[in-house]
Amino acid sequence: MKKINIFDLSILGYLYLPIVLFLITWLNPIIGLPSVLVICYIILRYSFQKSEMNIPLKKDWLFILVALVIIVLWTLLSGLGGFFLQSYDWQKHNVLLNDFINKDWPVHYKFNGKYGVVSYYIGEYIIPGMIGKFSGFNVAQTSLLIWIILGLFLLILSLYKWVNKQNGYLFLLIAFALILFSPFIYPLNGIYGNWVPWDYNNMGDMGEWFSKTLKLQYTSNISLLRFVFPQFVPVALSVSLWLRNRKNYQFWGLILAPTILYSTFAFIGLAVLMLFTLIYDCIDKKIMVDWKKVFNIINILSLLLMIVLLLYISCNIFQPKPVDEKMKFTFIDVWSHKLGFITLQASWIIWVLLLLKHEWKNPLIYTSSIILFLLPFCEYGAANDLVMRVSIPPLMVINFLVIKNIANYWKKDLYFALVLLGALLIAGVGPLWQLKNASLSHNLHSRIYNMPYKTGNEFFKSDKNVVYQYVDWSQNILRKIIIRK
């Protein structure tokens, strides 16, 4: 009898538990309950596959404990729990979490004579919101802090299994590399400031906006956790699980599906990355793609689950909106922003050039590069979230390859490993200033919430762009079919 893969089952449980609760409490039971059965079946099918090497918990407990302490400090300094300064985006996070606690699910609003329902990627608010219904806002914040710490800890263990090196120091390397990884935009920003001082943006607590006029950003891990933690941790876990199932095509749909409810843009990035990688495998004569695995029952059922989740998100995307609030897709006039375009592209190309020494045969380098190169030509959304968030999975692939190469070549090619380690420090020291600034504003005896708006209705009055960003006001037929009344 096959043994259950407990560790991967834990990761899938982390990713899918909020999805299951969402399906039960938000969607029409005719759609939600069968979807829950689909999830139970596909996870069970995955759980009986062979596991990789075991994690030496007893042998390396001290390293694991130190790595855990590191990520706890990182999450606290990033604003989770409200003990340290929370970034600008926490205005949204706190409003949604508070309404998830105080309103019935699915969360409805009445604003300017319209009735709307939340239609957004809300995965990371589900569990703390449910806990908060019984224990209040402070406990919900604490549960959110613990939930994110758990996700990051599972990520460290997942990457440890992927690197496949029995060394306690690897836990520390993974923890520090996750914190420090960033495109080289901070050091390049100084050069950009000399080129075009009138467009130079002195980056600080608002992340990697290096240009005042160009809506382009590839985001550091520090900024991702400080600003958009719901889109960072679950997506990182999914990417790590995919890398460990690189040739197990039959599980790709299972890994991809939950990302829709955490970050729909990141879902697009991971889906395109998977598609490009599959195309590469088909072209490569050395790789035999088993199409029975690609079109197997798990992927087919996962696709049906994706359709359900995408239909929910589409209630927001395709609702009628005022002309000045529509999220129009356009192409950026790159020729008018040549130096800004070159700066952004160089920020990730430097990482690729460093990795090519030992990864030049790895198709993931090229598939990730294609996505990262093409994205800056596009614009969609008020802050061009298309570029910022679709880029998360390919940047994570580069991040994880940096970790693997440092671990693999520390003894075989020490100079190369040290260059990568130095590059992490050079690229990461800029974003570290965000954590330093956050550490100067703290109160360990009470909470500091960035919460100028207590409810969604107050928040909607703050900026016209947020009215249609999180809520479907359309009352269309699709919404009536998909979402509970």
- pLDDT category, 59, cuts 50, 70, 90? confident
pLDDT of residue 52: 63
Residue 31 lies in a domain: yes
The answer to whether residue 49 scores a pLDDT higher than 90 is: no
pLDDT at 318 over 70: yes
pLDDT digits (tens, 9 = 90+) for 206-220: 778 999 888 899 999
pLDDT value at position 234? 97
Is residue 36 assigned to a domain?
yes
**What does R_g of the chain's alpha carbons equal in angstroms?**
22
Q: What's the domain range around 316? A: 6-482
* pLDDT average, residue stretch 100-124: 91
Q: Position of tokens 């105080």?
A: 102
Residue 19: name the closest of 94, 126, 120, 138 by CA: 126
What is the structure's pLDDT at 4?
Answer: 75
Task: With a cut of 70, say whether residue 308 has pLDDT above it.
Answer: yes
* Model confidence pLDDT, tens digit, residues 396-445: 999 999 999 999 999 899 999 999 999 999 999 999 988 888 888 777 77
Q: What is the pLDDT of residue 309?
A: 96
Asked whether residue 324 carries a pLDDT value surpassing 70, the answer given is: no
pLDDT confidence of 323, banded at 50, 70, 90? Answer: low
pLDDT in tens, 117-162: 999 999 999 999 999 999 999 999 999 999 999 999 999 999 999 9
Instruction: Answer whether residue 147 is part of any domain.
Output: yes
pLDDT band at 205 (very low <50, low <70, confident <90, very high): low
Q: State residue 328 phi and psi, 5-degree precision.
A: -80, 140
- What share of the chain has pLDDT > 70, as a percent? 97
State how far the Cα of 202 lies from the Cα of 204, in Å rounded to an integer: 6
**Burial profile 84-104: b = 16 or more Cβ within 10 angstroms, e = fewer:** bbbbebbbbbbbbbbbbbebe
On whether residue 1 sits in a domain, the answer given is: no
Residue 63 backbone zone (phi > 0: left; psi -120 to 50: alpha; other: beta):
alpha
Q: How far, in Å, are 18, 149, 255, 279 from residue 14 at the CA level?
A: 8, 12, 12, 30
Q: What is the pLDDT of residue 286?
A: 82
Residues 6+ apart with CB under 8 A from 50: 5
Task: Report if residue 209 sits inside a domain.
Answer: yes
pLDDT at 268 over 90: yes
Segment 440-459 mean pLDDT: 83
pLDDT at 21 over 70: yes
Long-range contacts for 86-90 (Cβ within 8 Å, ≥24 apart)?
86/448, 86/449, 86/450, 87/205, 87/226, 87/227, 87/450, 88/205, 88/206, 88/227, 88/450, 89/226, 89/227, 89/228, 90/449, 90/450, 90/451
Average pLDDT over residues 344-373: 96
Cα 163 from chain centroid (whole Å) = 21
Quick check: is 66 in a domain? yes
3-state SS of 89-144? CHHHHHHHHHHHHHCCCCCEEEECCEEEEECCCCHHHHHHHHHHHHHCHHHHHHHH
Q: Average the pLDDT over each of 28-32, 349-353, 456-460 and give the range with the smallest value.
A: 456-460
How high is the pLDDT of residue 325? 61
**Residue 346 domain flag:** yes
8 A C-beta contact, residue 207 and residue 432: no
| The predicted structure's pLDDT at residue 2 | 60
For residue 392, is it within any domain? yes
**Domain count along the chain:** 1
Distance CA 248, CA 283 (A): 17
- Reported as a single tens digit per residue, the pLDDT across 153-186 is 999 999 999 998 888 899 999 999 999 999 999 9
Residue whose token pair is 């999914």: 238
Host H or E run for residue 380? strand 378-380
pLDDT for residue 43: 93
* Least-confidence region, from 73-87, 303-317, 467-481: 467-481
Q: Residues near 44 by Cβ (< 8 Å), separated by ≥ 6?
A: none
Residue 1 has pLDDT above 60, yes or no: no
pLDDT band at 474 (very low <50, low <70, confident <90, very high): confident
Where residue 473 falls among pLDDT bands split at 50, 70, 90?
A: confident
Whether residue 222 has pLDDT greater than 80: yes
- The mean pLDDT value of the chain amounts to 91
Instruction: Answer whether residue 25 shows pLDDT above 60.
Output: yes
Q: Which helix (H) or strand (E) holds 471?
A: strand 471-472
